[in-house]
Amino acid sequence: QFQNVLPDASLQWKFSNSKNLRFNYRTSTNQPSIQQLQEVASISNSLSVSSGNPDLLQDFRHNLFVRYQQSDYLKGNNLFALLSCNFADNYIGNEYIIPSVDTLILGDVLLSRGGQWVRPINLSGYLSLRSFATYGFPIPAIKCNLNLNGGISYVISPSKVNETLNENKNLSSNLGLVLSSNISKTLDFTLSSSVFVNDLKNSTDPDQNTTNYTQNTGFRIQWQIWKGLVIQTDVNAQINSGLSEDLNQNFVLWNAALAYKFLPKQAGDLRLSVFDLLNQNVSLVRNVREAYYEDVKTNVLQQYIMLSFTYNLKRFTENKSMPGGQG
């Protein structure tokens, strides 16, 4: 059983109708699950035995953030910035026991040399700092809007390895831009590009230190070339660097569609779509854990063709005056 007092506070400054600054402090708790509390060994993997910890306490989270927002409706400019901090008391992390000889754990479970025993424990030292900003403005000369965005995050995740405190320090940053059109009702396109850098440091095992990069550039266009006839295509190119050698894959994902809009108010949409024309689609993800990282490649659906019909249920009514002069 847990009893908590959870304070919460917020403060907002409105400099004008278009500029405001907000500060917020919030607390929360993270209770251990039944599995985390039960001291029962899971031996489905003999080289990685896991169990719970009946002495586990809930962790208590402190969340702070500052947000600034500014909009100029006449010029079309907008600015948004966010800075957040998150830290915890009694953070629920993991302890890794890696024996050098065959060892009995939990009384009767044999853990082979080179295997590991993982169990949750309460630790101090967890910290998460995150920042994000975006600025958008129109470019009248080419009838487009440009949006610039970027962010930095720094996360310290503590764990224990053979009674030694380990800190996984993950510094990541991203920078991107999006150029979107506002040319006409029949032509719409978006050009975007972003780069992501992830740097990981492990305090007890320098061999785990790694840096990886991901860049994604995309282009999307939709053009109504004649009455209800519409062509649409999007291309995304992704470049990966720093992942495991067999996963350093760069690929291009290209989709295209030909559609015909008909019926009253163009409610009907008959569309022929081709996904992944180059047959290169792949899913690559890096997961950062407390004491290690892993690169995961997943088989995903690649090239296929689909014929679809969509009927949009639209109902627009005229705004009529109501008694009392209200619309």
Element (H, E) at 35: helix 34-37
| Model pLDDT, residue 323 | 52
316 pLDDT band (50/70/90 cuts)? low
Nearest to 28 by CA among 62, 71, 70, 51: 62
Element (H, E) at 274: strand 268-275
What mean pLDDT is predicted for residues 118-123? Answer: 94
Measured over the CA atoms of residue 32, residue 33, residue 38 and residue 43, the dihedral's sign is negative
More confident residue, 177 or 246: 177
Among 117-121, 148-152, 264-268, the range scoring the smallest mean pLDDT is 264-268
222 pLDDT band (50/70/90 cuts)? very high
The residue ranges of DSSP E strands in 125-250, in sequence order, are 127-139, 144-161, 164-181, 187-202, 210-226, 229-241
The rounded mean pLDDT for the chain is: 89
What mean pLDDT is predicted for residues 223-236? Answer: 92
pTM of the model: 0.82
| Model pLDDT, residue 291 | 67
Contact 93/126 with Cβ under 8 angstroms? yes
Among 130-134, 294-298, 307-311, the range scoring the smallest mean pLDDT is 294-298
